C-alpha cells in the first residue's frame, strides 16, 4: 500500500480507482504531495480534457494557478506527449521521461513526478500482455531515473485477475489520498524564487531546504516569498541563512513579505546576514 | 563569538553591599582603576544608582558608557546576549573592557532569581572568552540570604572592603549549574500533549496556542511560547527518547511550559546557558528558547530529561 506522504524517488504507484471520488482523492493527494516536496508534476490526461483534469485537482484543494504559471505543474495531453499509442510503444515513453528529467533539474526543481490517466490504453494496446510489458519497461526506466509516477486505471474496466497483474507491475498501490501537507513549496518565476505556503518545522525542514537549493542552483538571485508562511522554527530559518552563506559573491537571497514571527526570531537569533536581504 | 588574541585576562567579581553609598564608592573605584589602565568602561544599573555613580564620577563620567535599568533587557538570556553583542562590538584595538552590571532581583519570582544565578555562573565562561572584567553588585539589604550565598558560589572573586579576594565558596560554573538545577514535576491537573514524532509538532503548536490564550498571554508572548516549546520538543525528538510530552500550567503569575523525554539529557549542561558560535546553524535551540522566556531550567532524573521554562503572564 502506498503512503502518498512518504513516496521514494522512482516509486511507480498504481491507482485502481472504483469511482471519480476515489480518483480525485488519490490524484489530488499525489499532486499536493508533489507541491509539498517543491517538485515538478507532469499530469498527463487521456480520458479527460485538461480543464477537466485541472478541476479534478482543484476539487482536492490543489492550487493550480501559480504552479501552472511557473511550470511546476505541467498539464499535457497523452497523445501530445507520446503521439499515437499504436506507434509509440514503451521506448517512446522512456525517451520522454529522460528528456523531462533533464529539463526538470535545469528548471530548478529537486525532483519530478508524473501522474498519468491510463484511460483506454489497455484496450488500444491490444493483448493485455502488451500493457504489462509497457508498465514493466517504464517502471524500470523511471526507477533508474528517480521519477515518481502514478498510473490511474479505471478498476471497472479490468477483470480482477488483470487488476492483480497490473498492480504487480507497480511498486505500490494507492487506495486513499493523504491529509493536507504541512506546507507547499511553490516555484515562482517573476521574480525567480520559491513561495512557502504553510508551516516549516522539523517534519518538513529537509524537504524545504532541498527545494530551496534546487531553486538556487545556478542562479544569482532568489526571492523567498513568506507572505503565506504561517510558522517556521529557528533551525529552519537558520537553514535559509546557511544556504545563503554558501552562495558565491555577488549572489543574494531576498526574503519578501516577512511575517512578524520571522522578524522576532531574527532579532534574537544573530544569524550572520551573509547574502540575505529583506525586500518589500 | 570571536576570542581576541592573545589569551585575555578576565575577572568576574561579586560586590555584596547593604547601602547605596558603599555601592557607589566601590563602583567608582572599580571604574577609576579601569580608566587608569585605559580600558573601555560600561555600566548598567537602576536609574537612581546610575545617577549617583555619574555625579560622583564628575567629569570622568565622559569615559563611561551608561545603560540605565530600563534599557537592560528584563529576560536574563536576552540581557546576556545584549552583553555579548556589546563585547563583540569592536572597540579601539587592544583595549580591555570593564563592566558593572546589576539586575533588579527583588521583584522577581523565585524561578527567575534561581535562573539569574545559573546564568551568572555560566557567564564566567563567556567573560573568560572575551577577557573582560565584570563587577556584579548584589543588594544584601533586600535579597534573601540564600540568594546572597549563591552569589558567593557563582562568582570566582569578591570585592570586599575595597580588596579583591577569591570567593571561598566558589563552585565553578558546571558544578554550580548541576547543583542548582532541580526537577519540578508538573502538577497532576496540568493539561499536556504527547509529541513523539515530528509530524505531531504542528498539533502540539495548536495545543500550546490554546493554552497561551486561555492564560491571557499577549500575541508576542504566545509566539515566544510556541517558538520556544517547538525548539524544546524538536530537541527531544532528535536527541531524546520516547515517550515525550509537553505540559502547560499556571504557577502564580507565571505560565510554565514543561517538556519531558526519556533520554539521558544534555551531555554538556553549560550548553543551555552559553551563546552558540554565530556560524553554527544548529545547536541554538536552548539558547533561543532562553531568549524567549523569563527563566529556563534543564534537569534530569531517573525518568529522563526535563526542560522547564516560564513566561510572566499579564496582570
**CB-based contact (8 Å) between B202 and chain A?**
yes
pLDDT (tens digit per residue) in A8-41: 999 999 999 999 999 999 999 999 999 999 999 9
**What are A's interface residues with B at a Cβ cutoff of 8 A?**
182, 199, 201-203, 231, 233-235, 238-239, 241-242, 245, 260-261, 264-265, 268-272
d(CA B1, CA B132): 13
Q: In angstroms, what separates the C-alpha of B308 from chain A's closest C-alpha? A: 19
pLDDT(B309) > 90: yes
Q: Which helix (H) or strand (E) holds B249?
A: strand B245-251
| Minimum mean pLDDT range among A3-7, B90-94, B105-109, B261-265 | B90-94
d(CA B312, CA B255): 6
Which residues in chain B have their CB less than 8 angstroms from residue A234's CB? 227, 231, 284-285, 288
d(CA B294, CA B116): 10
d(CA B146, CA B2): 35
Check B230 against A201: CB less than 8 A apart: yes
Contacts 24+ apart (CB under 8 A), A198-201: A198/A228, A198/A229, A198/A230, A199/A229, A199/A230, A199/A231, A199/A232, A199/B202, A199/B205, A200/A229, A200/A231, A200/A232, A200/A233, A200/A236, A201/A231, A201/A232, A201/A233, A201/A236, A201/B198, A201/B201, A201/B202, A201/B230, A201/B234
- Tell me the pLDDT band of B280, cut-offs 50, 70 and 90: low
pLDDT(A213) > 50: yes
| Minimum mean pLDDT range among A53-67, A139-153, B82-96, B151-165 | B82-96
Say which of B199, B220, B224 has its CB closest to residue A203: B199
Predicted local confidence at residue A70, as pLDDT: 96
- pTM confidence score: 0.89
Check B238 against A242: CB less than 8 A apart: no
Check A264 against B220: CB less than 8 A apart: yes
* Cis upstream peptide for A57 (omega within 30°): no
Q: Average pLDDT in the A120-129 region?
A: 86
Q: Average pLDDT in the B190-205 region?
A: 96
* DSSP calls for B259-302: EEESS---SSGGGGTSPPPTT-SSS-HHHHHHHTSSEEEEEEET
pLDDT(A138) > 70: yes
Interface test with B, best of A5, A199, A202 (most B CBs within 10 A): A202
Predicted local confidence at residue B171, as pLDDT: 95
Check B201 against A272: CB less than 8 A apart: no
d(CA A85, CA B220): 60
Which residues in chain A have their CB less than 8 angstroms from residue B198's CB? 201-203
Check A182 against B285: CB less than 8 A apart: no
* Cis upstream peptide for A191 (omega within 30°): yes
* Rg of chain A (C-alpha set): 20
Interface test with A, best of B288, B289, B293 (most A CBs within 10 A): B288
Q: Average pLDDT in the A90-102 region?
A: 87
pLDDT (tens digit per residue) in A214-250: 999 989 999 999 999 999 999 999 999 999 988 888 8
Q: Which residue of chain B has the CA closest to A266?
A: B288
Predicted local confidence at residue A121, as pLDDT: 86
Predicted local confidence at residue B4, as pLDDT: 42
Which residues in chain A have their CB less than 8 angstroms from residue B238's CB? 202
Say which of A199, A245, A260 has its CB closest to residue B202: A199
Check A201 against B234: CB less than 8 A apart: yes
- Residue B33 Cα to chain centre, angstroms: 27
Q: Which residue of chain A has the CA closest to B1?
A: A270
Contact between B245 and B192 (Cβ < 8 Å) = yes
Q: Average pLDDT in the B203-217 region?
A: 96
Q: Which residue of chain B has the CA closest to A242?
A: B281
- Tell me the pLDDT band of B143, cut-offs 50, 70 and 90: very high
Please choose, from the candidates A210, A192, A79, A197, the residue with its C-alpha nearest in 3D space to the C-alpha of residue A146. A210
pLDDT(B93) > 70: no
Which residues in chain A have their CB less than 8 angstroms from residue B281's CB? 235, 238-239, 241-242, 271
Q: Which helix (H) or strand (E) holds A165?
A: helix A160-168
pLDDT(B160) > 60: yes
**CB-based contact (8 Å) between B221 and chain A?**
no
Which residues in chain B have their CB less than 8 angstroms from residue A233's CB? 227, 230-231, 234
Q: Which residue of chain B has the CA closest to A203?
A: B198
pLDDT(B1) > 50: no
Q: Which residue of chain A has the CA closest to B205?
A: A231
Q: Which residue of chain A has the CA closest to B223?
A: A261
pLDDT(B2) > 50: no
Predicted local confidence at residue A2, as pLDDT: 80
Interface test with B, best of A200, A236, A270, A272 (most B CBs within 10 A): A270
- Tell me the pLDDT band of A192, cut-offs 50, 70 and 90: very high
pLDDT(B9) > 80: no
pLDDT(A280) > 80: no
Say which of A201, A242, A265 has its CB closest to residue B202: A201
Predicted local confidence at residue B5, as pLDDT: 43
Percentage of chain B exceeding pLDDT 70:
92
Secondary structure (H, E, C), B90-106: CCCCCCCEEEEECCCCC
Check B284 against A238: CB less than 8 A apart: yes
**CB-based contact (8 Å) between B220 and chain A?**
yes
Predicted local confidence at residue B183, as pLDDT: 94
Say which of A235, A238, A268 has its CB closest to residue B291: A268
Task: Give alpha helix (H) positions in chain B.
Answer: 20-36, 47-57, 76-88, 110-130, 145-154, 173-179, 201-214, 219-239, 285-291
pLDDT (tens digit per residue) in A144-181: 999 999 999 999 999 999 999 999 999 999 988 888 89
Interface confidence, given as ipTM, is: 0.88
Say which of A201, A245, A264 has its CB closest to residue B198: A201
Q: Name the DSSP letter for residue B56.
A: H
Say which of A235, A264, A271 has its CB closest to residue B285: A235
Amino acid at each position: 500500500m502506498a503512503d502518498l506522504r512518504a513516496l521514494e524517488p522512482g516509486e511507480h504507484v498504481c491507482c485502481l480507482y472504483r469511482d471519480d471520488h476515489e480518483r480525485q482523492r488519490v490524484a489530488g493527494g499525489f499532486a499536493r504531495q508533489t507541491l509539498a516536496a517543491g517538485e515538478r508534476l507532469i499530469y498527463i490526461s487521456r480520458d479527460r480534457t485538461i480543464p477537466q483534469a485541472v478541476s479534478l485537482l482543484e476539487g482536492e484543494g490543489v492550487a493550480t494557478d501559480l504552479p501552472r504559471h511557473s511550470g511546476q505543474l505541467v498539464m499535457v495531453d497523452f497523445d501530445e506527449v507520446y503521439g499515437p499509442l499504436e506507434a509509440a510503444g514503451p521506448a517512446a515513453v522512456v525517451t520522454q521521461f529522460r528528456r523531462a528529467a533533464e529539463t526538470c533539474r535545469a528548471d530548478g526543481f529537486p525532483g519530478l513526478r508524473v501522474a498519468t490517466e491510463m484511460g483506454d490504453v489497455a484496450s488500444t494496446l491490444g493483448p493485455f500482455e502488451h500493457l504489462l510489458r509497457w508498465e514493466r519497461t517504464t517502471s524500470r526506466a523511471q526507477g533508474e531515473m528517480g521519477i515518481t509516477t502514478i498510473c490511474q486505471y479505471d478498476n471497472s474496466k479490468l477483470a480482477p485477475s488483470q487488476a492483480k497483474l497490473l498492480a504487480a507491475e507497480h511498486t505500490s498501490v494507492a487506495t486513499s489520498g493523504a491529509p493536507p501537507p504541512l506546507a507547499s513549496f511553490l516555484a515562482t518565476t517573476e521574480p525567480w524564487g520559491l513561495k512557502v505556503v504553510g508551516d516549516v518545522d522539523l517534519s518538513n525542514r529537509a524537504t524545504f531546504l532541498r527545494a530551496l537549493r534546487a531553486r538556487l542552483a545556478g542562479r544569482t538571485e532568489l526571492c523567498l516569498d513568506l507572505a503565506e508562511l504561517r510558522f517556521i522554527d529557528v533551525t529552519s530559518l537558520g537553514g535559509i541563512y546557511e544556504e545563503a552563506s554558501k552562495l558565491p559573491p555577488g549572489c543574494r537571497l531576498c526574503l519578501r513579505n516577512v511575517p512578524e514571527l520571522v522578524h522576532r526570531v531574527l532579532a534574537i537569533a544573530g544569524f550572520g546576514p551573509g547574502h540575505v536581504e529583506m525586500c518589500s | 563569538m570571536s576570542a581576541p588574541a592573545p589569551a585575555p585576562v578576565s575577572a568576574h567579581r561579586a560586590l555584596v553591599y547593604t547601602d547605596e553609598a558603599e555601592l557607589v564608592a566601590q563602583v567608582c573605584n572599580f571604574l577609576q582603576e579601569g580608566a587608569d589602565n585605559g580600558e573601555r568602561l560600561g555600566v548598567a544599573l537602576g536609574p537612581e544608582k546610575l545617577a549617583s555613580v555619574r555625579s560622583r564620577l564628575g567629569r570622568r563620567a565622559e569615559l563611561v558608557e551608561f545603560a540605565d535599568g530600563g534599557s537592560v533587557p528584563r529576560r536574563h538570556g536576552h540581557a546576556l546576549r545584549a552583553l555579548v553583542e556589546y563585547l563583540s562590538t569592536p572597540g579601539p584595538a587592544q583595549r580591555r573592557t570593564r563592566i558593572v552590571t546589576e539586575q533588579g532581583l527583588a521583584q522577581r519570582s523565585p524561578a527567575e532569581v534561581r535562573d539569574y544565578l545559573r546564568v551568572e555562573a555560566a557567564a564566567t565562561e563567556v567573560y573568560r572568552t572575551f577577557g573582560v572584567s565584570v563587577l556584579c553588585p548584589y543588594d544584601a539589604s533586600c535579597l534573601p540570604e540564600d540568594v546572597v550565598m549563591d552569589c558567593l558560589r557563582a562568582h570566582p572573586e569578591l570585592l570586599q572592603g575595597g580588596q579583591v579576594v577569591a570567593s571561598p565558596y566558589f563552585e565553578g560554573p558546571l558544578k554550580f549549574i548541576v547543583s542548582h538545577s532541580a526537577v519540578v514535576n508538573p502538577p497532576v491537573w496540568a493539561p499536556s500533549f504527547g509529541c513523539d514524532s515530528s509530524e505531531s509538532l504542528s498539533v502540539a503548536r495548536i495545543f500550546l496556542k490554546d493554552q497561551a490564550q486561555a492564560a491571557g498571554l499577549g500575541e508576542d508572548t504566545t509566539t515566544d511560547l510556541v517558538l520556544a516549546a517547538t525548539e524544546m520538543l524538536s530537541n527531544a525528538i532528535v536527541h531524546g527518547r520516547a515517550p515525550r510530552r509537553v505540559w502547560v500550567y499556571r504557577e502564580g503569575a507565571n505560565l510554565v511550559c514543561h517538556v519531558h523525554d526519556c533520554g539521558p539529557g544534555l551531555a554538556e549542561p553549560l550548553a543551555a546557558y552559553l551563546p552558540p558560535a554565530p556560524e553554527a546553524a544548529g545547536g541554538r535551540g536552548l539558547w533561543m528558547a532562553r531568549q524567549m522566556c523569563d527563566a529556563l531550567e534543564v534537569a534530569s532524573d531517573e525518568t529522563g530529561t526535563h526542560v522547564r521554562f516560564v513566561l510572566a503572564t499579564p496582570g
